[in-house]
Amino acid sequence: MTINYTPTGVCSRNIQIEIDGDIIKSVKFTGGCNGNTQGISALVKGMKVKDAVERLQGIDCGGKGTSCPDQLANALKEAL
Q: What is the pLDDT along the chain (80 residues), one digit of tens a residue?
A: 999 999 999 999 999 999 999 999 999 999 999 999 999 999 999 999 999 999 999 999 999 999 999 999 999 999 88
49 CB-near residues (< 8 Å, 6+ apart) = 19, 22, 23, 24, 76, 79, 80
HSE-up (13 A, CA, CB side) for residue 67: 15
Per-residue confidence (pLDDT) for residue 38, from 0 to 100: 97
Per-residue confidence (pLDDT) for residue 2, from 0 to 100: 97
Largest CA distance in the chain: 34
Task: Enter the pTM of the model.
Answer: 0.95
Domains in the chain and their CATH numbers? 2-79 (3.30.390)
What is the C-alpha separation between 23 and 62, in angstroms, rounded? 30
